[in-house]
A = this chain, B = another copy of it.
Amino acid sequence: MAIHKKEAFTQKEQDLANFAKAMAHPARIAILKVLAQRNECICGEIVNLLPLAQSTVSQHLKELKTAGLITGTIDGPRSCYCINWKAFEKFNGEFNFLFAKLKVNNEKACC
């Protein structure tokens, strides 16, 4: 029955939703914050900073990578992650586009 009807929406709507979904967990927000603060690539250090098991963190990193919010390269025995700021720029722009519309209409809001 009720799978996901995501296909029925526009690509932009899906893209925005996917971007939001990738950020829709405090652990992933925390990971992005760490990567933003230290701009040098971080690896399993994230595991020490989060109250989660290594496998769980790895899973969250994978999700962020799949969604395109971060990039990951293998550096010897360890992995190095960085934020894909280009993706953030893109989606920040789309969000702002939505917000801009809101601001314009703000005065006339009725409820």
Give residues in A with beta carbon < 8 Å to B: 2, 5-6, 8-10, 13-14, 16-18, 20-30, 32-33, 36-37, 39-41, 51-52, 56, 71-73, 80-83, 85, 88-89, 92, 95-96, 98-99, 101-103, 105-106, 108-111
Contacts and interface: CB of A to CB of B under 8 A. Distances in A.
Contacts of A88: 98-99, 102
6 contacts: A14-B26, A41-B110, A41-B111, A71-B111, A80-B110, A82-B111
Given A9-B51, A40-B108, A73-B111, 9 more contacts: A6-B26, A8-B52, A17-B26, A21-B24, A32-B98, A39-B105, A81-B111, A82-B110, A92-B96
Given A17-B24, A24-B21, A33 B98 contact: yes
A30 B9 contact: yes
A23 B29 contact: no
A92 B101 CA distance: 13
